[in-house]
Amino acid sequence: MSDPTIVFPLYPGVTHLDFTGPHQVMSRIPGAKLIVASAGAADIEADGLTFTGLADLSKVEACDVLCIPGGFGTTAAMLDEAFMADIKRLAAGAKYLTSVCTGSLILAAAGLLKGKRATCHWAWKDQLKPFGVIVTEGRVVRDGNVITGGGVTAGLDFAFTMVAELAGETLAQSIQLGLEYQPDPPFNAGSPETAPPEILAAVRGMMSGAMASRQGAAEEAARRLETAAT
């Protein structure tokens, strides 16, 4: 695809690596236009960094790739009717519907993943089920024009997959080499299956506070979809 337009919709509470990682990789596609947008062009604070000079999401007319990052803010974003209306509007004309981490919950809440295979961060995968998603293991999962990445760092694997899709494997591999992307983590604790039990328990404990509210938001968003369909 020549000169693709790629839109990253941001919202309060987004995880910045979910979009800065893919943005860094995909910004090296020749001719690509990358738009980072928020509701009302508002500044977005994310884990101590503030992103400013953003586009107004409601004024972004169209895109080829809609890439939705995740974050704890997905709980509120799924129920923000104005934000979700813009997601649905842009998705209607996009060639690719994509996400990183819990961004897939927003795609699901927009009614875009029913009956589709998709993934998410390991801790939140069950929250895709109320939307009729076929929850699938994998760093990057594809179902037609829907391409989803797992938790946070999977955004890089997702991004190289997208570069190959949009501009070919030669460019994707060249960018990979240019960025020296050759992961070699110091610990084998990157998944529930490999992390020491005490580490897994501690991380589950840290996330437990958000679990109920996000589950409630997912169920409410799914209910709204059902109501709109009737």
Per DSSP, the three-state class of 18 is: helix
Query: CB-side exposure of 102: number of CA atoms within 13 Å?
Result: 26
Q: What is the DSSP letter of 41?
A: G
Helix axes 154-167, 169-178, angle to 10 degrees: 140
Helices (H), the chain: 16-26, 74-77, 81-93, 103-109, 154-167, 169-178, 197-229
Q: How much of the chain is helix, strand and coil, in % rounded to 5? A: 45, 15, 35
Per DSSP, the three-state class of 113 is: coil
Catalytic annotation present for 63? no
Per the listing, tokens 């005490």 go with 198
| Given the residues 63, 67, 101, 120, the one annotated as active site | 101
Q: Which residues are catalytic?
A: 101
